């Protein structure tokens, strides 16, 4: 059985155990030896970060060849048009190439914890929330995708990776699961 830790990574925390100041690394939240992040979440993003002691499971979670869906709740500056949502759904062109198609939809503001520091508020510029589901994990991909369609990201929360969700886990808290080999799938074949 492999260990799998579901951490609600707070804003301002690095997705690593060393290299930051007090309160800025995973070591300040997860004191479990032998586990490592399966993928990354940048310092300015919050939400679900998976850690495991199993290298194969780590690769399955983080490698885009397994097509593991990642769901993000994204607060953006502006109101998305139908065209902007269609572009996200089709895939957008970034400097490092086109993204895979995403599932994108406008949602009501989710019931989330308060962020510290809070997101800047501007009376003259409306904001809105999107749910964005992707199967890649490029560096700052969601932020770059929303910016490419004219919707700069204000707040980014990863809510789900595959079947694992952040439901019921407070910022800085974590839950441990035991995962057997039956939960592993072969990589999806590419046509």
- Which residues does the annotation mark as catalytic? 42
Q: In angstroms, what is the C-alpha Rg of the chain?
A: 17
Beta strands 46-52; 153-161: pairing state: parallel
Tokens of 126: 């409306």
Residues whose CB falls within 8 Å of the CB of residue 88, separated by 6 or more in sequence, listed in order: 102, 104, 130, 132, 145, 146, 149
Phi–psi pair at 165, nearest 5 degrees: -130, 165
In whole angstroms, what is the distance from residue 112 CA to residue 65 CA?
31
| Cα dihedral 107→11→65→19 (10° resolution) | 170
Q: Which residues pair with 5 in a beta bridge?
A: 51, 176
In whole angstroms, what is the distance from residue 167 CA to residue 172 CA?
13
């Amino acid at each position: 059985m492999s260990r799998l830790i579901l951490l609600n990574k707070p804003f301002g925390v690095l997705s690593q155990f060393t290299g930051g100041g007090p309160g800025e690394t995973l070591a300040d939240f997860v004191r479990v030896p032998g586990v490592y992040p399966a993928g990354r979440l940048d310092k300015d993003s919050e939400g679900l970060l998976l850690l495991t002691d199993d290298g194969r499971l780590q690769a399955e979670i983080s490698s885009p060849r397994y097509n593991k869906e990642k769901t993000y709740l994204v607060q953006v500056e502006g109101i998305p048009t139908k065209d902007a949502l269609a572009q996200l759904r089709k895939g957008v062109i970034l400097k490092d190439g086109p993204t895979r198609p995403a599932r994108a939809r406008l949602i009501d503001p989710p019931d989330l914890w308060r962020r510290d520091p809070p997101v800047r508020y501007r009376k003259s510029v409306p904001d809105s929330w999107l749910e964005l589901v992707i199967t890649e994990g490029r560096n700052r991909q969601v932020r770059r995708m929303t910016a490419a369609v004219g919707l700069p990201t204000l707040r980014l929360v990863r809510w789900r990776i595959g079947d694992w969700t952040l439901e019921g886990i407070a910022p800085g808290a974590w839950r441990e699961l035991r995962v057997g080999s039956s939960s592993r799938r072969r990589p999806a074949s590419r046509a």
